[in-house]
Amino acid sequence: LEDAGVVADWAARFVLQRITQFAPGPGRHFVLGLPTGGTPLGMYRRLIDFYKEGRLSFKYVTTFNMDEYVGLPRDHPESYHYYMWNEFFKHVDIDPGNAHVLDGNAADLVGECRRFEELIAAAGGVHLFIGGIGPDGHIAFNEPGSSLVSRTRVKTLAYDTLEANKRFFGNDISKVPRQALTVGVGTVMDAKEVMILITGVHKSLALAKAVEEGVNHMWTVSAFQQHAQALFVCDEDATLELR
C-alpha cells in the first residue's frame, strides 16, 4: 500500500469486516489480539471513528494485548496499560473486564503469564491477532533468538532493546524496565488469523527476512510463513528490500 496512512485505514477496515462478519453477541465474543507501538496508532484512530459512526461495537469483543513492561506503574505514560486505555479502550464501548493486558506488577509474574494463557484458552482462542514488528524482526518482546514455539513468559530485554527504548524514558537507560511480560511466538501462531502491520524503510530488511528467507528464530517474525492465515500489511517503503 502507498503509505502508513493507507495501511492504518486498510487494517481498520479489515478488523471491521472480520468483526461484522463474525456477528458477535452475548456469549459469542470476537477475540482480538492487539499490539502497542507507533504503527497501530492510525488503525486505532480509524476503529474509534467506526465506533463513533455507529458502524462497529466492541461490546462483545474480548482483547488480549501482546506485552507489558515489568514494574512500571499502570499510569506511567510508557506503560502499555496507559497506552491502550488512552489510545483506544476509553474511546470505545469495550467492557474493561474484557480488555486483557498482562500485569507487569503482579507479585507472581510466572503465574501471571500462565493465567494469561489460560484466559486466552478460556475465551476459545484468538480469532485475529494483530502485530507489529521491530527492525530486528521481533514480534511482541520475542527478540532475535526467541523460541518459535514460545508461550507467554517473562523476558529479560536485550541491551539493544533497552538502548532503542531509552528515548521514551528521558534518554536515561537506567529508567528503562529490564524485563517485560510477552506472549510467545507460539501464542500468536495459535490464533486463527494473524495480521502484521509493517511500515517504514527501517523495517524493510525485517520484511525481507520475514518472507524471502527460511524460517529462522533470529528473525522471529519469519515463523508466520508457517501460519495457515497470516497477512502482512505493508507500505511501499517497507518493501524496499524485497526481491
* Residues catalogued as catalytic: 67, 136, 138, 143
Cβ nearer to ligand F6R, comparing 24 with 134? 134
Q: CB-based contacts of 230: which residues, under 8 Å, 6+ apart?
A: 193, 194, 195, 196, 224
Contact string 37-76 vs ligand F6R (x = CB under 6 A):
xxx--------------------------xx---------
For residue 53, the minimal CB distance to ligand F6R (Å) is 26
Q: Which stretch binds ligand F6R (CB under 6 A): 13-21, 35-43, 185-193, 230-238?
A: 35-43
Q: Longest Cα pair distance anywhere in the chain, in angstroms? A: 48
How far is C-alpha 178 from the chain's CA centre? 20
Quote the DSSP letter at residue 179: E
SS3 221: helix
For residue 134, the minimal CB distance to ligand F6R (Å) is 4
Cβ nearer to ligand F6R, comparing 60 with 176? 176
Cβ nearer to ligand F6R, comparing 65 with 98? 65
The identity of residue 155, as a single letter, is K
Cell of residue 161, nine digits: 532493546
Strand pairing category for 153-156 and 179-182: antiparallel
- Which 121-150 residues touch ligand F6R, going by CB under 6 A? 132-134, 138-140
By the 8 A CB rule, do 3 and 39 touch?
A: no
Binding site for ligand F6R (CB under 6 A): 35-39, 66-67, 132-134, 138-140
